Chains A and B, each alone.
Chain A
């Protein structure tokens, strides 16, 4: 842009702003924003002198919680796809692993279902963990870069800031579920989910658990560089100790008890129960097919796992209240 245009933009911003906005930032969403800003801008610049607490202030359009959350959602969404690391870990990793690890199992069976489809549900669960890592990195980076502090200095309530960030990461998970699920049905010959409601509920509950855990553990993470030190153990335990690919029964016996009680295991188990309509949890490679169960028995089977997820979430929330910080530690 020439410097002549630049100086005119500075001097005549009030009168020519429509044109200049068009030239400058004619990106998505700009037209919408301009219409909204128009009336307020006229009060703001045209008659700034008349800025009294009275009519001018009332004419201003005041946003509410849904708009705050929406703005935060779109911001987080854009930043997620702009950042290569988050796109890779948060989006591509579960999908790639599914192709590499689950696909070769498609000639095997476990518990009466296709082993590749079985593992795919495991990777859907695993996507919650990558989204956890992603949120942990995101929260720590935002805190250390003082973005959280800046956001908190605006009118946006803290709940909307979190809702936007959780929402964006959740939308990524949803995208992965559709992709992995479609792959499983289309390629591995998996049936459609037997109990979509239980599946969705478990997914949401599991997502919330890991999202809250990410916020809680951000408080233990001193810096963005230290984030892998917190994230990697969680990732490894969830990858290999929660029945993502192989059933828990193939682990050493003494490890199975603790593994069943880790946060991801009950989520994966219940997702499988909901998808295949069979009571997963004690399946083995050599064991026979699990009996089909109806919806009611599916929920009964899932109740214990869901309670365990709720307990983990509550624990994480308590921890989060104690540990979460808006600003980096001084010094």
Chain B
């Protein structure tokens, strides 16, 4: 899958402003971003719902908008929100979809995978939000797609449903399915994705493996301010002075182990206990917050 300099506007509003990335076969790629960052628009262009305003998009080697049927025989789509016929049961819905999807798998198998076996005889109107999302997922993977689009798949799911979904996605990945996922759960991206891209206001702010995106973001080392010490008595670590917030000392360090070594050395020489010391690697959340911070700063 290849996206080159994609732009997409709605009227005067430019939702996607020139993004490029490629997703290799078998890879799980996550698009992250806040609401309105352009994730869904990007996905809808890739799914073939709309053409790009400019730039090119290739999915499985073809133009998804012009060659819809050909491309979609091999893809599965789970929309952020997609409808069902409320009159039909879960089983009837899956059976109906099987009648017009090439290479559809047996209904029981797919319902089992998403944990809806028990609900096969239930009308769709009676499903909970999370169950509906899982039915959504069942339809998306029904044709054993080579490429699966998941637009915020676990939004509205309870933890159990989320676990089922993650397991299914991991199984599909293990079997060689390429997955393009959008999410605003950073944990989800961190758990599942080979590579992530962070979208911000229609542009890609960062692309790479989770490690790469996180690298250059510092480790946070925190511990409660030891009794009897003031902030001024704390050492500098690798050239960084600490911040003290609500009685908690915070260092940010580019390299974790040397920073800890310095702190432990200092504590030993002063006979200070560093109870409750924590070193936390940067998470995508931090990157996210930093981006938001930069954006606020640039205004």
A binds B: yes
B120, A44: Cβ atoms closer than 8 Å: no
The answer to whether B84 touches A145, judged by C-beta atoms less than 8 angstroms apart, is yes
* Residue with the greatest number of chain A CB neighbours at <10 A, chosen from B72, B98, B105, B111: B105
> How many residues of chain A have a CB within 8 Å of chain B?
62
Tell whether, in the assembled complex, residue B49 and residue A153 are in contact, meaning their CB atoms are under 8 Å apart. Answer: yes
- Tell me whether A48 and B88 are in contact (CB under 8 A): no
Residues of A within 8 A of B81 (CB): 146
Q: Are B79 and A150 in contact (CB under 8 A)?
A: yes
A73 CB, min distance to chain B CBs, angstroms: 10
- How many angstroms from the CA of A13 to the CA of B177 in the assembled complex? 19
B residues less than 8 Å from A44 (CB atoms): 103, 105, 144
Check if B113 is an interface residue, CB within 8 A of chain A.
yes
A-B Cβ contacts below 8 A, count: 180
Q: Would you call B106 and A37 a contact (CB within 8 A)?
A: yes
Interface size class of B (residues with CB under 8 A): 35 or more
A60 at the interface (CB under 8 A from B): yes
In the assembled complex, B104 has its CB within 8 A of some CB on chain A: yes
Which residues of B (93-135) have their CB < 8 Å from a CB of A? 95-109, 111-113, 115, 117-118, 120-121
Q: Is A53 an interface residue (CB 8 A)?
A: yes
Chain A residues, CB < 8 A from B258? none
The verdict on B33 contacting chain A, using a C-beta distance below 8 Å, is no
B152 within 8 A of partner (CB): no
A171 close to B (CB within 8 Å): no
In whole Å, how far is B292's beta carbon from the nearest beta carbon of chain A? 25
Q: Judge whether B102 and A63 touch: CB under 8 Å.
A: yes
Q: Find chain B residues with CB under 8 A from A53 CB.
A: 146
Per the bound structure, the CA–CA distance linking A104 and B128 in Å amounts to 51
> Is A294 interfacial (CB-CB < 8 Å)?
no
B254 shortest CB reach to chain A, Å: 41
Query: With an 8 A cutoff between CB atoms, is B202 at the interface?
Result: no
- Judging by beta carbons under 8 Å apart, are A33 and B98 in contact? yes
Q: When A10-B115, A157-B69 are in contact, do A147 and B85 touch as well, CB less than 8 Å?
A: yes
Question: At the interface, yes or no: A6 with Cβ under 8 Å from chain B?
Answer: yes
- The answer to whether B77 touches A60, judged by C-beta atoms less than 8 angstroms apart, is no
Expressed in whole angstroms, the Cα–Cα distance for A11 and B84 within the complex equals: 27
Residue of B nearest to A28 (CB): B95
Contact digits for A13-50, partner B, Cβ 8 Å, 1 yes 0 no = 11001101100110101100110111011011100110
A286 at the interface (CB under 8 A from B): no
**B280 close to A (CB within 8 Å):** no
Could you tell me the distance between the alpha carbons of A247 and B199 in the complex, rounded to whole angstroms? 66
In angstroms, Cα B69 to Cα A48, docked, is 23
Asked whether A9 lies within 8 Å of B108 as measured between CB atoms, the reply is yes
A63:B101 contact, CB within 8 angstroms: yes
CA distance A285 to B50 in the complex (A): 57
A142 near B: Cβ within 8 Å?
Answer: yes
| Nearest CB of A to B120, in Å | 5
Q: Which of A3, A30, A147 contacts B95 (CB 8 A)?
A: A30
A34 to B104, CA, bound (A): 9
- B159 CB-CB contact with A under 8 Å: no
8 nearest A-B pairs in the assembled complex, by CB-CB distance? A48-B175, A71-B100, A145-B83, A71-B99, A44-B144, A146-B83, A13-B112, A60-B103
